[in-house]
Amino acid sequence: MFPDLTRDDVFRIETRRLWLRWPTAKDAPAIMALAGERAVAEMTAHIPHPLGREAVNDFLVKVRGANNAGTGLTLALTLRATPGRLIGLVGIAGDAGAPHLGYWLGQPWWGNGLMSEAAGALVHAFFAYAGGTCLTAGALPANRASQRVIEKIGFRWTDRRSTPSPARGGARDLDWFALDGTEWAARQRITEPDLAEAS
């Protein structure tokens, strides 16, 4: 799904305020502390609360393996001024036929548009460099902040469905969204400046 370019742990995406890099074992304490907060975990379908070190270690092995194989791409969010300090995660996982965008951000950084910036950059990499054709995303109906991130990137609501939630011992209703590569490309043409006209 992802090209050789992304399959090395030196791969980075730089945005205006963020570095997006491969997560490492050194990030485990920050993941436990930030994703393990009740306010963060309860806004997701998959993060358990409390979040233990073994689950975080297993997660890191899994996503680094997927990054290396090109079957997914999960990146740690860090502020450009502090590239060693993880503040959240963003990733695209799933097989080539059903890739899915997921993310979380530590509570101290909520409300600053950082996740929109990070998720937008990863979605751009997926469509522009990985040749993606369609991407899905889900959010809890009560999580309006997450839905705004998804909509800001260009996803459209498709439906609400019950989704297995092993972290919650059952299922949760999620609002599902989709973004087609053709729609994404058209949106890029609209937002990119026409350099010929500008000169």
Confidence of residue 50 (pLDDT cuts 50, 70, 90): very high
Q: What is the mean pLDDT of the chain?
A: 92
For 78-88, what is each residue's pLDDT tens digit? 999 999 999 99
Confidence of residue 47 (pLDDT cuts 50, 70, 90): very high
**What tokens were used for 60?**
């890191």
Confidence of residue 190 (pLDDT cuts 50, 70, 90): low
**What tokens were used for 38?**
């009740």
Comparing CA positions, the residue from 36, 159, 155 lying closest to residue 102 is: 155
Q: Greater confidence, 49 or 26?
A: 26
pLDDT of residue 196: 40
Confidence of residue 122 (pLDDT cuts 50, 70, 90): very high
User: What's the rounded Cα separation, in Å, for the pair 142 and 39?
Assistant: 12
DSSP three-state, residue 172: strand
pLDDT of residue 169: 76
User: What's the rounded Cα separation, in Å, for the pair 109 and 35?
Assistant: 12
Q: Greater confidence, 199 or 183?
A: 183
DSSP three-state, residue 114: helix
- Domain limits, the chain: 4-192
User: What's the rounded Cα separation, in Å, for the pair 192 and 199?
Assistant: 14
Query: Partners of 182 in the beta sheet?
Result: none
Angle between helices 181-191 and 114-128 (to 10 degrees): 110
The answer to whether 140 touches 43, Cβ cutoff 8 Å, is: yes
The answer to whether 109 touches 13, Cβ cutoff 8 Å, is: no
Comparing CA positions, the residue from 139, 126, 64 lying closest to residue 99 is: 126
pLDDT of residue 192: 53
pLDDT of residue 199: 31
57-81: average pLDDT: 97
pLDDT of residue 195: 37
Q: Which CATH architecture has domain 4-192?
A: 3-Layer(aba) Sandwich (3.40)
